[in-house]
Amino acid sequence: MGLMDMVTSMMGNAGGEQGEKATVTGGLMEELQNHPGGVGGVMQSFQQNGLGGLIQQWSNGQTAPAAPSQIEQGLGGTGLIENIAQRTGLSPTVVKMGLAVAVPMLIHHYFSNGHVDQQGQQTGPQPESGGVLQNILGRII
């Protein structure tokens, strides 16, 4: 079962905003499989784009959603927003709103489980994308 199939299965009757956030999360997990550095690369992008303080907050468990403008700034130059929009058929605006919820949880999950340090360097074995996706979707829907 592919990651997007897993999203569809877990969503059940969830529609609207929750369904869009779930779809964006699935698209993010698929994109990260090919993104240089995976989650660590995302973390490094935020730091390079002046948002290292957010990475620190998320790593420490303060996973309140970011502003879509912070997602746009943090991921600037990575192509992730555009690629997820293309993959999911959602607008870049909707993708940024979904990422504003998913990225803080994703960063916290990877950091708190010892997969990356706060600089985005891998510190242990990387988890299966499906397990991480299930964990995050369980919080969203």
Q: What is the pTM of this model?
A: 0.88
pLDDT at res. 118: 86
Helix (H, G, I), strand (E, B) or coil at 5: helix
Q: Count of domains in the chain? A: 1
Q: Which residues pair with 116 in a beta bridge?
A: 122
Q: Which residues pair with 122 in a beta bridge?
A: 116
Tens digit of pLDDT per residue, the chain (141 long)?
576 665 666 555 556 777 888 888 989 999 998 888 899 999 999 999 999 999 999 999 999 999 999 999 999 999 999 999 999 999 999 999 999 999 999 999 999 999 999 889 989 888 888 888 888 888 877
Q: Are 41 and 103 in contact (CB under 8 A)?
A: no
CATH number at 41 reads 1.10.10.690
Identity of the residue numbered 25: T
pLDDT at res. 4: 60
Write the CB contacts of 24 (distance below 8 Å, at least 6 apart in sequence): 84, 88, 90, 94, 95, 97, 98, 99, 102
What's the domain range around 38?
Answer: 3-140
